[in-house]
Structure 1
Amino acid sequence: MTVLNESGISDVLPPLHAVNGLANRMPGALVLLLGLRSEAFVAQSLVYPAQAGYLPQPRSPRVVYLVLDPEEPPEGGYIASRIVEAAAGFRGLEAVFVVSGWSARAVGVDAAFEARIAERRLEIPVALLDPHGPEGAPGVLSTDLEDRISASLVRFAPERTSGLFAVAAPEESRKSGRSEKRRGGLFGGLLERNRRDPDGDLRGSPVVLLGGFGSPFSARELAAELGRAGVRVAGTVPADGVGELPEIGEGTVVGLLDANLPEARRAAEERGAEVVETLVPVGVDGTARFVQDVSAAAGPASSEVGKARNVWHNLQHLRNRVRGKRVFFAGDTGLELPLARFLADAGAVVLEVGMPRFDRRRLSEELQALGPDVDVVAAPDWRGQMERVEKKRPDLVVASAGLYGPLVARGHLCRTSSELTRLGVHGYEGARRVLETISRTFERAEELDSSLNI
């Protein structure tokens, strides 16, 4: 395997594109963007486009924009008052997330101070999120904002002790008004059934699934697979609401649905939770390895060899459609390496995997599973990617948003990486959805070529 670092300017969506998705994912939260007019424009413009079979993601009414004037910096406390005013227009708020980066600092706004004042006035959690990359980490991922908000949610969650009882995180329990009905919603019934065995025994460590903002239904499917393996799934982060967050702390096992969540991982480890080092649960073998390693860490070990063999057998007709196809990854979501590993397992020939950010230590398991015959390019330069695509002429390019249009115009068959991740790529069902989508892509291209007698 060759790992190159081009130190280029990668073509990635800015993290602000996730603002609307985060608000839609958490019904009880208000997302407030504090920045310049250009940032508000970016956040409103970069909603997900419509695609075949899917409705476009709507703009959330729970996203509020506070536009700063660089010529007239606001006085201290003014932003906090505006946050309180914005929150007063919504009922049942459980938390406020203030997205504020370098532009607010440049104008002279102490966003952390304003958030603390607003929190005292509102008496609900107010978290400050920096949408830019973590300190010292090269490159920017479109999912960086998801990492920040996941870390905040981990800190909002009640803290679990090594015993059978959990204590609420300081102030958060009182602020968010948790009650006995907190286990309802999308995951509630399933997770309650996984919480104990038929005899009511609470042996084994509870498991929390961390990540998966773009595909909550695939997290639910993965929770069902863990439950089948005898694992107690306590909940997910994010949950359907701040009041439904699971206990996290000593004795909790955390399974990451995305390797690019450094701050969320750190927040869980600071609580004393055990974060399992394993493959991302993308693809058949990745899901089987994830279930085995998480179940081993939680207590009851489980073998997924037979399950994985059956799933591969049922996917044989889809594997036949992708076998031998040459695929080039130039995406920006951070899940390109697990997706490439899965397609290589399915029989495709992966030519290159471009990754805006590359952490060899965190991705060592993925690199080993991918195999030695694939080139990995860290911080790829978009010009170099275009040249290599033109030279190698792959059958399919999994492209970033900026490269999609130019590559299609040059006659390349493309899908965007965000399209695949929004399918719900985690778990065995996610593997089926990915192969079905790619198979349909090839079929439609062949039908078009046939109709044009190409």
Structure 2
Amino acid sequence: MTILNESGAPDVVSPLHGLSGLAERFPNTLLVVAGTRADAHLVQSLSVPLPGTPLDPSVRPGSGSGVHPRVVFVVLEPDEEPSGGALASRVIEAAAGFRRTGLVLLVACRSATLLGFDAEFEAEIAGRRLGLPVRALAPDAGGSGVLYTDLEDGAIRSLVELCPRSVTGSGEEPPFSKGNILGRLPFRGRTGRRTAPEEPGARRPVVLLGALPGPREELAAELARVGVEVAGGVLGAETDRLPAIGEGTIVAAVDPYLVAAYRAAEERGATVVRSLLPIGVDGTARFIQDVSTLAGRGASEAGRARQVWESLEPLRSRIRGKRVFFTGDTGLEVPLARFLADAGAVVLEVGTPRLDRRSLAAELSALGEDVDVVESPEWRAQLDRVDAARPDVVVASPGLYVPLVARGHLCRSSLDLLSLGVHGYEGARRILELFARTFERAEKLDALSL
């Protein structure tokens, strides 16, 4: 395998694109976006809810702009002085209009940073005055290695930091339960205590990070089948119902881009799973085996994986031998490429804006020696490589999608896969069905000779 870093400017959709979808998946979280009018217009233009996520019945009806009602804007003027506490006051004013708010995420656009606002400082002040947690995120701060999914990573990290460290409380009054102008928030068990030393061979609870609600429930059911207790998931949980994460807890991130969230769980003393991600048949089987081993159960998934592969054979026959090229912007590229290669496709190149070798060590070793991985690709050179390779399909970032289609390439948007639900055995079927439909439609269009 060749891993090349071109140190280029890869084509990546701004993480702000995912604000509305994230708001739908965080039931009682308010997202306050601080930036100029241009930033507000960008968010309104790009915010598209992710498919398959339930709407929060408690929020007010939207204005029809496509922005979720729990995404609000603090508009900063270009000549505004970044006086300490000014932004915090506006965050408090925005939060006062919403009930049942358990967490406020202050999303600082790049312009807020350039204007001199210290989002971390302002969030701390706002949290003290509100009596509830306020966390600052800067997903679009610029620089190399920005992923479309960085906003989700930062948001889940914030939730991990709010999780109780142990299942049982100490009787102490938890933080943010008194003096809260938005109502009492019972963060059960958040006492900072460490869990008692576990007994050898004891079963340990598992917490899942990431994934859409449906696939996450499918994974939990597969783990329950082998006797593994899933204590809960962070994404989608209300802030007063977050699972415990600390010593004695096993944390399994199901998405490769949750690097900051994983690090936060490690810092709390949790055991993090270093395995193949539950994407594709072999990845799901290996994930379940490794999680069950850490949880004190131990289970072989070889038979189950063999059955799933047999059921997918008609779809594999449509994929086998097809040449696939990933331009990449979501961080899912490496495990998706590994699964398609397992299914019989020929992966020509895997492009990704950022490659975390520690979290992807198992994936990279399973990807195979014949696949080129390009980190931070230079988009012009990448277009030239696509033209030279003439793949059967390109998984393209939205910015390169139209130019590639105009050059005659068959493409799928990377965001299609992000919102598909790619995890677990059923996710493997959905992935193969997506590509099979893509090839079938292309063949039908070719037959028309238009």
Q: TM-score, normalised by structure 2?
A: 0.88
Q: Using the alignment, how far apart are the partners of 2:358 and 2:103 within structure 1?
A: 34
* Residues 184-242 of structure 1 deviation map (CA, whole Å, 9 limit, x = unaligned): xxxxxxxxxxxxxxxxxx95100000122xx2211111111111111100011113311
Is residue 2:154 matched to residue 1:154?
no
- 175, 191, 201: which one aligns with 1:171: 175
Residue matched to 1:27: 27
Residue matched to 2:207: 208
- Tell me which amino acid in the other structure corresponds to 2:304: K
Give the Å deviation of 1:14.
Answer: 1.5
Q: Using the alignment, how far apart are the partners of 1:57 and 1:207 within structure 2?
A: 39
Tell me, what secondary structure is at the counterpart of 1:64? Answer: strand
Give the Å deviation of 1:109.
Answer: 2.2
Residue matched to 1:330: 327
Q: Assess, with a 3 A threshold, how the Cα gap between structure 1 residues 373 and 86 changes in structure 2: closer, same or farther.
A: same
Tell me, what secondary structure is at the counterpart of 1:415? Answer: strand
Q: Once the two structures are aligned, what percentage of the paired residues are identical?
A: 58
- 82, 87, 93: which one aligns with 2:90: 82
* Residues 323-355 of structure 1 deviation map (CA, whole Å, 9 limit, x = unaligned): 011111112100000000000000001111001
Q: Using the alignment, how far apart are the partners of 1:148 and 1:169 within structure 2?
A: 27
Q: Are the aligned partners of 1:396 and 1:412 in contact in 2 as well (CA < 8 Å)?
A: yes
Q: Using the alignment, how far apart are the partners of 2:219 and 2:50 within structure 1?
A: 26
Tell me, what secondary structure is at the counterpart of 2:428? Answer: helix
Give the Å deviation of 1:105.
Answer: 3.3
Give the Å deviation of 1:385.
Answer: 1.2
Q: Using the alignment, how far apart are the partners of 2:16 and 2:68 within structure 1?
A: 14
Aligned residues: 422
Alignment map for 1:242-391 (pairs within 5 Å): 242-391=239-388
Is residue 2:226 matched to residue 1:229?
yes
* Residues 286-327 of structure 1 deviation map (CA, whole Å, 9 limit, x = unaligned): 000000001111110011000100000111100000001111
Residue matched to 2:56: none
Q: Using the alignment, how far apart are the partners of 1:286 and 1:98 within structure 2?
A: 35
Q: Using the alignment, how far apart are the partners of 2:27 and 2:40 within structure 1?
A: 21
Residue matched to 1:446: 443
Q: Using the alignment, how far apart are the partners of 1:254 and 1:102 within structure 2?
A: 32
- 120, 140, 146: which one aligns with 1:140: 146
Which consecutive residues of structure 2, in runs of 5 or more, have no partner in the other structure?
52-63, 189-200
Q: Assess, with a 3 A threshold, how the Cα gap between structure 1 residues 410 and 238 changes in structure 2: closer, same or farther.
A: same
- Tell me which amino acid in the other structure corresponds to 1:304: E
Q: Using the alignment, how far apart are the partners of 1:448 and 1:244 within structure 2?
A: 50
Residue matched to 1:420: 417
* Residues 19-66 of structure 1 deviation map (CA, whole Å, 9 limit, x = unaligned): 111111112111001122232222222234999xxxx99420111111
Q: TM-score, normalised by structure 1?
A: 0.88
Q: Assess, with a 3 A threshold, how the Cα gap between structure 1 residues 114 and 389 changes in structure 2: closer, same or farther.
A: same
Give the Å deviation of 1:74.
Answer: 4.8
Q: Using the alignment, how far apart are the partners of 1:241 and 1:446 within structure 2?
A: 46
Residue matched to 1:195: none
Q: Are the aligned partners of 2:157 and 2:262 in contact in 1 as well (CA < 8 Å)?
A: yes
Q: Using the alignment, how far apart are the partners of 1:113 and 1:434 within structure 2?
A: 43
- 126, 131, 145: which one aligns with 1:118: 126
Q: Assess, with a 3 A threshold, how the Cα gap between structure 1 residues 101 and 59 changes in structure 2: closer, same or farther.
A: closer
Q: Using the alignment, how far apart are the partners of 2:26 and 2:80 within structure 1?
A: 33
Tell me, what secondary structure is at the counterpart of 1:159? Answer: coil
Tell me, what secondary structure is at the counterpart of 1:248? Answer: coil
Q: Using the alignment, how far apart are the partners of 2:446 and 2:432 within structure 1?
A: 21
Q: Assess, with a 3 A threshold, how the Cα gap between structure 1 residues 173 and 334 changes in structure 2: closer, same or farther.
A: farther
Q: Assess, with a 3 A threshold, how the Cα gap between structure 1 residues 79 and 138 changes in structure 2: closer, same or farther.
A: closer
Which consecutive residues of structure 1, in runs of 5 or more, have no partner in the other structure?
181-201
Give the Å deviation of 1:394.
Answer: 0.6
Give the Å deviation of 1:408.
Answer: 0.9
The CA RMSD measured in Å over matched residues stands at 2.4
* Residues 119-165 of structure 1 deviation map (CA, whole Å, 9 limit, x = unaligned): 2222221111121479xx951111111111111100111112xxx63
Q: Using the alignment, how far apart are the partners of 1:331 and 1:419 within structure 2?
A: 12
Q: Assess, with a 3 A threshold, how the Cα gap between structure 1 residues 327 and 178 changes in structure 2: closer, same or farther.
A: same
Q: Are the aligned partners of 1:353 and 1:377 in contact in 2 as well (CA < 8 Å)?
A: yes
Tell me, what secondary structure is at the counterpart of 1:294? Answer: helix
Tell me, what secondary structure is at the counterpart of 1:204? Answer: coil
Q: Using the alignment, how far apart are the partners of 1:170 and 1:354 within structure 2?
A: 45
Residue matched to 1:198: none
Q: Using the alignment, how far apart are the partners of 2:173 and 2:413 within structure 1?
A: 39
Instruction: Name the one with the larger helix percent.
Output: 1
Give the Å deviation of 1:73.
Answer: 1.6
Where does structure 1 differ by over 3 angstroms across 4 or more consecutive aligned residues?
Answer: 48-51, 166-170, 172-176
* Residues 246-276 of structure 1 deviation map (CA, whole Å, 9 limit, x = unaligned): 1111100011112222211111011110001
